Chain A
Amino acid sequence: MTDATTEATHSGGSAGAVPAEDPTAFGWLNTADHKRIGRLFIACSLLFALAGAIADLLVRFDLASSSDHTVLNADSFVQVFTFTRDALVFGMLIPLFLGIAIYVVPLQVGAPNIAFGRAAALSFWGWLVSAGVLVGAYIANGGPGGGFSDGVDLHLLALAGLVISLLTGAICVAVTTLTMRAPGMYMDRTPPFAWSALVTASMLVVSLGVVLGQIVILYIEHRYGPRFLGGNYGIWSRIDWMYRTPQLFIYVVPVLGVVAEIMLAAARRWVFEPLALYFTMGLVGLFGFGAWANFGITGEGDDIVDGLEGIVLVGLYAGALAGVSGLLALLGFTLWQSRNRPRPRSGAVSLTRPNTAVVAAFGAGTLIAVAALVGLIGAGVDWLQIAGRGVDGNAPLRFTTWVTGQQSLLIYGAGLLGGLAALHWWAPKIWGRRLSELAGFASLLAIGGGALLAWLGPTLSGVFTEQPQFVYGAPLLTTRYASQVDDSGAEGLSALGAVGVVIVLVGVALVVLNLLVSVAMRKGAATEADPWDGLTPEWLLPSPPPLGPAAALPELTSGTPLLDAELNGNGLDGTGAAAERDAEEVPA
C-alpha cells in the first residue's frame, strides 16, 4: 500500500514538533497512528471479503446439485458453511467499517488521534492474528462440526480473540466520538458517520459481550465435557445469531452514516431536524440487538419463550425498518429541499452528476430498507404461521435458506456497496488519490447485481421449496441439506444464488484491483483537500493528512464547518470565494 503521508511528512519539513511516527515499513508494525491502523484494517478486510465469497461459492455450488456433495464433502460442508459467515462478518463487514471509522472519525471530530492509539493498534493485530488462527483451526478440521477436537477448541479461542479485538477497536472509536471532539462541537452537531460509528460501537459492546460469555461456556463444555450442549455440533446454534438478522443491522449502521454523509454533501444542505437523523440511526442499532433473538439459549426453556420469540422478532424488524425508512425519508426530503440550489463547481458531488460513491450509497441505503422490510414480512409469516409455516413439515422461514438471502442482502448488498461508497468517497482523504470511476461503476454494477441474485435465489428457495429445518434449525443435519436438495426448484434457485456470488466476487476483485492500480501504483488522480465539496471537518485537512498526531487542532463549532462557511457567505478562507463561485455557476 502506498504511504503517501510519509511523503507529506518528509517533504513538508514541518514535523519537528510532532511525535515521530516511523515512516519506514517497520512503522506499520509499531504504529499507533489512526491513519495507518485504519488503512491496515481496510486492506486486510477486503482480502477476507474475497476469501469469504469464495467459500460461500463452494457452499452454494454444493447446494445446486441434487446428487450428493459435488464440490465439498459431508465432513467439510458444515465447516466451509460456518467459515463463510466468520469470514464475511468478522473478517470483512465489521473490520472494514471499523477501519474506516478509525481513520475518519478522529478527523471528523477534530481529534489529534484515535483514543487509546496503542489499544487500537492492538485491536488490529489481535484481530489479524486471531483471524489467522481461525483459518488455521478450520484447515486443521476444527470449527463447528469439525472432527479434530483441539481444532474445535482452537476455533473457539480464535473467535474469542476476534471478538475481544473488535470490541477493543469499537471502544476506541466510541471514546473518540464521546470525549475527543474539538471544543465547540457538541454531540448534536457530530457528523453523521461519526455518530453512526458511535452507535455501532456501542451496540457491538453490548451484543458481542454476550457472545463472549457464550464462547467461554462452549469452550469449557467442549474441552472438558460432558457435552450436554452438543459438542462441536452444538456450537453453531448458539452463536449463529451473530451472523444473521437482526444482529446484521448493527453491523451496517455505519453504511447509513456513509449514505447520510454523501447524500447531504450532494444536497449541500443540512437536515432540517438533526436530532431525527441521529435518532433514526440509533433506532436501527438499538433494534438490531440480535442477542434477544438468541433462541439457542432461550429455546432451551421452551415454555419461557413460546409465543414470545415471534413477537420479539417482528418488533425488532419493525423498529429497524422504522429507523431506516425514517432516515431515508429525511435524506430524500433534504435532497428535495435542495433542488433549486446553484449548480456545484466542477468535480463536486451532486445528484445531477452522480459518481460511484453517490450511486453506491443510494443502493446501499435502499438495500438496507429492503432487508428490513423483507425481514419484517418473514418474521410476520413465522409468527402468524402463515401458509403452515412453523407446523409439521414446513419449517419456519428463519430455519431455511431464507436466512442466507437476508445475509446476502445485508453483507454483499448493503455492506459491500456501502463499503464501496465509503472507499470512493474517502479515498482522496485516506490515500490522497481518487479511485477510478470506470472500475468503480463496474464494481458497483457487479456487487449490486450479484447481491440481488445472491439474495433472490436462497430467499425464493426458502419460501417455495420444501426445506426441513436443516441448515439453521439443526446444524447437526446441515450436511444432509446438501445431499437432499430435491427437484422442487431448489437446485435452480441455489444455482441462481451461486451465480450471484460469482458476480459479487468479480465486483470485489475489481475493488481490490482498483485500489492496487489507483493507490498502490499511483495511477489515481492526486486530489486537493476537498475534491467533492464535502461538508464535514475532514475535508478541511490536507489529502491525506500527515502521519502522526496533530500538534494543534481545528476549532470547530459544528459537524459541517464547510457548509456553515458557505452559508455565511464568507467562504472558508474568509474571502467569500465559495459564495462567489456558486453565484458564477448558476445557469442563466
Chain B
Amino acid sequence: MADTTGLVEASQPGRYSVPGPPPRPRSQLVGTGFAIAAGAMAVAGALGHYMARRHASGIDPGHDWLAGQSVPNPQLVYALITLLVSVVTAHWAVWASGRGERGHTWVGMALTLVMGLAFFNMVMFSLNRMEFEIGSGEWATLAFAVTGLSLAILIVGMFYLGLMTLRSLGGSVGRDRSTPLGAAVFFWDFAVLAWAATWYVVYVVK
C-alpha cells in the first residue's frame, strides 16, 4: 500500500506492515462505560452527602426532617415501574438490531422514548403535588439537588437514546453495527438504576 501519510514507511521492509485501520467496535461502549462510572460516582457522592446530613441532623429520619410533607409514593412507584419496563423495551431494541430486524428495533426504541417521557410527566406531577419549595428547608434543598442530578442523567440518557435511534434509522443495524445502540441502552440502564437508588434513599427511606 502506498504511503499516504508519512506515518508508514512501507518502503522499508520489515518495519511496518499496513493492515489498514482495524475495526474498533467497542470504543463507544467502553467510553460509555467510563461515563457511567463518572455518573455513578456523582450520584453516589450526592446520595452519600444526603445520608450524611440526614444522619447528622440527629432527628428521626423521614419524619421530622420532612416537616409534615407527604410523598406521593404510588405515583413515584408507577414512574419507577415505567422506567423498568422501558429497560425491557430498550433491550428488545438492541436484540432486534443485532438480528437486523429494523422494524422491531424502531418500535422498541420508540416505546422506550415514550415511556421515558411518561416517566418525566409522572415525576413532575408528583413533585408538584408535594409542593415543597427549594430552599424551604434542608431536606427540600438536598432532595431537589439529588433528584435533579438523577433526572439530569435520565435526560442525558434519553438524548443519547434518541441520537442512536436516529442512527439506527439511518441504517446502522445488524450484528456488527448495533454496538452504538447497545452503548446508549447501557447508559439508559445506568440512568434507571441511578433513579431507583435516588427514589429509594430520598423518597422511601427519606
Contact = CB atoms under 8 A, between A and B. Distances in A.
A310 interface: no
B5 A551 contact: yes
Nearest to B46: A213
Interface in B39-73: 39-50, 52-53, 55-56
A438 interface: no
Contacts, number: 189
Contacts of A300: 52-53, 55-56
A140 interface: no
Contacts of A112: 21
A555 B17 contact: yes
A384 interface: no
B4 A15 contact: yes
A175 B24 CA distance: 11
Interface stretch (A142-150, A445-453, A567-575): A567-575
B37 A183 contact: no
A29 interface: no
Interface stretch (B6-14, B105-113, B158-166): B6-14
A213 B148 CA distance: 11
A183 B138 contact: no
Interface stretch (B26-34, B75-83, B91-99, B116-124): B26-34
A470 to B, nearest CB: 23
Interface stretch (B139-147, B167-175, B184-192): B139-147
Interface centre among A115, A170, A210, A542 (most CB of B within 10 A): A210
B74 interface: no
A14 B4 CA distance: 5
Interface in A134-182: 167, 170-172, 174-175, 178-180, 182
Contacts of A14: 2-6
A361 interface: no
B-side interface mostly: helix
Nearest to A180: B24
Interface string A553-584: 11100000000000000101110000000000
A304 interface: yes
Nearest to B50: A217
Interface residues of B, number: 56
Contacts of B12: 572-574
B16 interface: yes
Contact of A183 (B13, B19, B43, B135): B19
B205 interface: no
A15 B41 contact: no
Interface in A295-322: 297-298, 300-301, 304
Given A171-B31, A291-B45, A552-B20, A301 B55 contact: yes
Interface centre among A172, A205, A219, A540 (most CB of B within 10 A): A205
Interface string A212-230: 1110110111001110100
Contacts of A513: none
Contact of A546 (B2, B5, B46): B5
Contact of A221 (B13, B20, B39, B141): B141
Contacts of A228: 53, 138, 141
A548 B45 contact: no
Contacts of A220: 134, 141-142, 144-145, 148
B35 interface: yes
B38 interface: yes
A160 B103 CA distance: 41
Interface residues of A, number: 64
A216 B42 contact: yes
Given A550-B8, A574-B13, A209 B40 contact: yes
Contacts of A213: 41-47, 49, 149
B20 A553 contact: yes
Contacts of B30: 174-175, 178-179
Interface string A165-209: 001001110110011101100000000000000000110011111
B27 A212 contact: no
A364 interface: no
Contact of B31 (A175, A207, A301, A540): A175
Contacts of A301: 52, 55-56
Given A209-B38, A552-B18, A545 B146 contact: no
A541 interface: yes
A201 B13 CA distance: 37
Contacts of A540: 15-16
A574 to B, nearest CB: 4
B138 A179 contact: no
A18 interface: yes
Contacts of A172: 31
A116 interface: yes
A122 B16 CA distance: 33
B4 A216 contact: no
A8 B3 CA distance: 14
Contacts of B47: 213
Interface of A: 8, 12, 14-18, 112, 115-116, 167, 170-172, 174-175, 178-180, 182-183, 201-202, 205-214, 216-217, 219-221, 224-226, 228, 291, 297-298, 300-301, 304, 540-542, 545-546, 548, 550-555, 570, 572-574
Given A205-B34, A216-B145, A553-B8, 14 more contacts: A14-B4, A15-B4, A211-B45, A213-B44, A217-B146, A220-B141, A220-B148, A224-B141, A550-B21, A551-B4, A552-B19, A553-B7, A553-B20, A573-B12
Instruction: Report the 6 A-B pairs with minimum CB-CB distance, sorted nearest first.
Output: A209-B41, A213-B46, A213-B45, A224-B135, A210-B45, A209-B38
Interface of B: 1-8, 10, 12-22, 24, 26-27, 30-31, 34-35, 37-50, 52-53, 55-56, 134-135, 137-138, 141-142, 144-146, 148-149
5 contacts: A115-B27, A179-B27, A214-B45, A214-B49, A304-B52
